[in-house]
Chains A and B, each alone.
Chain A
Amino acid sequence: MIPPRFEYHAPKSIGEAIKLLSDLGDGAKLLAGGHSLLPMMKLRFAAPEHLIDINRIPELRGVREENGHVIIGAMTVENEVINSPIIQARLPLLSDAAKLIADPQVRNRGTIGGDIAHGDPGNDHPALAIAIDATFVLEGPAGRRQVAAGDFFFGTYMTALAENEVLCEIHAPAFAEGTGYAYEKLKRKTGDWATAGCAVVMRKTGDTISHIRITLTNVGPTALRANDAEAALLGKPLDAANIAAAAAAAAAICDPAEDLRGDIEYKTAMAAEMVKRALKAASARCA
Chain B
Amino acid sequence: MEVKLDKQYPLDVDADRAWALLSDLKATAGCMPGAEILEQLSDTSYKGAVKVKVGPAVAQFGGTVDVIETDAATRTVVLRGKGADKGGSSASMDLTAVIAADPQNPAHCTLNGAAAVIVNGKFAQFGGRMMVQVSEMILAQFVENFRQTALTLPAASQSSGTSVDADSAPVDAAAPEAPAKPTPQVATEINGLAIFWSLVKGWLRGLFGSRG
Report if A10 contacts B (CB, 8 A). no
Do B122 and A257 touch (CB < 8 A)? no
Do A118 and B55 touch (CB < 8 A)? yes
Do A154 and B56 touch (CB < 8 A)? no
Do A259 and B129 touch (CB < 8 A)? yes
Q: How far is A90 from B155 in the complex, measured between Cα atoms in Å?
A: 61
Do B137 and A155 touch (CB < 8 A)? yes
Do B57 and A155 touch (CB < 8 A)? no
Report A-chain residues with C-beta under 8 Å of the C-beta of B127: 45
Do A257 and B56 touch (CB < 8 A)? no
For the complex, count residues of B whose C-beta is within 8 A of A: 23
Q: How far is A43 from B192 in the complex, measured between Cα atoms in Å?
A: 22
Report if A173 contacts B (CB, 8 A). no
Q: How far is A48 from B130 in the complex, measured between Cα atoms in Å?
A: 20
Q: How far is A161 from B198 in the complex, measured between Cα atoms in Å?
A: 12
A2-59, CB < 8 A from B: 26, 29, 37, 40, 43-48
Report B-chain residues with C-beta under 8 Å of the C-beta of A154: 194-195, 197-198, 201
Q: How far is A257 from B132 in the complex, measured between Cα atoms in Å?
A: 7
A210-234, CB < 8 A from B: 221
Report if A82 contacts B (CB, 8 A). no
Chain B 110-137 near chain A by CB (<8 Å), digits 1 or 0: 0000000000001000111111111001
Report if A119 contacts B (CB, 8 A). yes
Q: Which of B57, B129, B134, B194 contacts A122 (CB 8 A)?
A: B129
**CB nearest to A157 among chain B residues:** B55
Q: Which of B58, B137, B192 contacts A45 (CB 8 A)?
A: B58
**CB nearest to B127 among chain A residues:** A45
Report if B175 contacts A (CB, 8 A). no
**CB nearest to A258 among chain B residues:** B132
Q: Distance in Å from the Cβ of B137 to the closest Cβ of chain A?
A: 6
B54-74, CB < 8 A from A: 54-59
Do A46 and B58 touch (CB < 8 A)? yes
Q: Distance in Å from the Cβ of B209 to the closest Cβ of chain A?
A: 15
Do B58 and A257 touch (CB < 8 A)? no
Report if A163 contacts B (CB, 8 A). yes
Report if A156 contacts B (CB, 8 A). yes
Report if A159 contacts B (CB, 8 A). yes
Q: Distance in Å from the Cβ of A152 to the closest Cβ of chain B?
A: 10
Do A43 and B122 touch (CB < 8 A)? yes
Chain A 155-167 near chain B by CB (<8 Å), digits 1 or 0: 1111111110000
Q: How far is A177 from B100 in the complex, measured between Cα atoms in Å?
A: 58
Known: A154-B195, A154-B198. A259 touches B56 (CB 8 A): no
Taking A43-B122, A161-B194 as known contacts, 13 extra A-B pairs with beta carbons closer than 8 A to each other, sorted by chain A number, are A40-B57, A43-B126, A45-B59, A45-B127, A118-B55, A120-B55, A154-B201, A155-B133, A157-B54, A157-B57, A160-B198, A221-B133, A259-B128
Do A156 and B137 touch (CB < 8 A)? yes
Q: How far is A174 from B197 in the complex, measured between Cα atoms in Å?
A: 33
